[in-house]
Structure 1
Amino acid sequence: MNNKTLGVLALLGAPSMAIGIYVEDQFKPLANSWWTGVWGIVYITAWMGSMVALNRIGATGSSRFGRTLPLIMLGTLAIANVSNGWQLVAPTFKPTLFWALDMCWPLSNVLMLIYGITVIVANRLPGWQRFVPLLCGLWLPMALTSKFWLPSELGFSLVTAYSAVAWSLLALVILTNHRSGHAAAPLSHV
């Protein structure tokens, strides 16, 4: 799959968390149900596509850390998607293993913060595009901050809108990058 296709899929999946959470807020029986697994799979799979495309572009640079971090990100995202699949097929069965797998959701967000800083330092993306992965990485700190400092309805609206905008911008980075049209080299190995 080339980067343009990955960018389109990332753009389509970018608002899925915001939509999923909104639907769950409006239709309470869907909260923490199979529906959560559906939107979670769409969201994480789109994120994984973005990571593959950014890796092909070389967004994190050529240092050992810059080559390894995207692979770690993809690993945590894949594990998070296993928990999404579990949520889809067995939403009420949640032993300790489920919660261990599910911890890769917040871990992936923490890693995205580090990833965003790495992209800025590597300076491989042009202009404003260099800052978009960090914008995505700031989602978790923003979500946690809004939970404690903003009224719940305002925080909910702000965090879900922020997610949709940040991940859409990341997809646009992939779509507008001059290397996006090429099926570039596969994921680098360490």
Structure 2
Amino acid sequence: MYTTVLCSSFVGKPSQANYSQKQMHKFPLSNRTLGTLGFLGAHYMLLAPLLPMRYPALAQSAFDGLLGLAFMLSWMGSLLGLMRLQATGQSTFGHWILRANLVTLTLANVWNIYQAIAPNANTLVYRLLDLFWPISMGMMLLVGIAVARVGKLGGWRRYVPLAVGLWLPLTALLGKLMSLPLFNMGTSAQDGTLYILLGSGLYASVSWCLLAYVVWSQPTLQPLYRTEAIRR
């Protein structure tokens, strides 16, 4: 049911005859529930790289795919919460950017399922689907920029989706900094990798938890598509 309703939320503005509140499709889970699921799934970036370093057998198991699936489903739930709050505004871009992010996350989740069934398969399809992980992160950056620009969320909350979207460029920057002599003096390559994973994972846990909190703390129920014309 969760996947079915996610897919139905991609549909654009309904016909004029369906504008009444009674006729509109609503996601059955409240923002409180979506936010709670977001809290539970927010720690993937911390756990997925570090636990296999401690327990190497996990690297050849379904662990990464299943954990990634839980993480992205909870992330998609937070995006649905933002959609319900109309956090990206009423423009055409704001309307479709969240839906586009949901599409890329769905394709990334196909990779998670593939990874769970056949870990490290390294086929062409496997590699192509894997691209939707960074693509989803890039889409989240665009979502964050839209939310911050529109300002529909109050105070510091308007910048939380942007903080989530900045995870990928900040992680890349951290990796670059750790390769400089100033930062790796007396540090082995393995320790340097560990520091990058810890820093990146902690940032991800905090930012995705804050995203979940934004959704959880604003439980207003709204239709998943708008009741007014899209402004161009």
Answer yes or no: same fold by TM over 0.5.
yes
> TM-score normalised to the size of structure 1?
0.93
1:91-130: CA deviations, max 9, x gaps? 1433111111111100010111111111011110000000
Which SS does the other structure have where 1:31 is aligned? helix
Match for residue 186 of structure 1? Answer: 224
Matches within 5 A, 1:83-162: 83-150=111-178, 151-162=192-203
- % identical aligned pairs: 35
8 Å Cα contact 2:45/2:200 also seen in 1: no
- The answer to whether the Cα contact below 8 Å between 2:85 and 2:220 also exists between their aligned partners in 1 is no
Aligned counterpart for 2:41 among listed residues 13, 26, 38: 13
Amino acid aligned to 1:152: T
What RMSD in Å do the two structures reach over aligned CA positions?
Answer: 1.6
Residue matched to 1:38: 66
Query: Which blocks of at least 5 consecutive residues in structure 2 are unaligned?
Result: 1-28, 179-191
- The Cα shift of 1:17 comes to 2.7
Structure 1 letter corresponding to 2:102: L
Counterpart residue identity of residue 186, structure 1: L
Q: CA deviation at 1:148?
A: 1.9
- Name the one with the larger helix percent: 1
Query: Deviation digits for residues 21-78 of structure 1, max 9, x if unmatched?
Result: 2212211221263111011001111110011110110010000000000010000000
Unaligned runs of 5+ in 1: none
- Distance of aligned partners of 1:105 and 1:187 in 2 relative to their CA distance in 1, 3 Å threshold: farther
Question: What is the CA-CA distance between 1:163 and the residue it aligns to?
Answer: 0.6
CA distance in 2, matches of 1:186, 1:144: 34
Are 1:47 and 2:75 counterparts? Answer: yes
Partners of 2:170 and 2:61 in 1: CA distance: 25
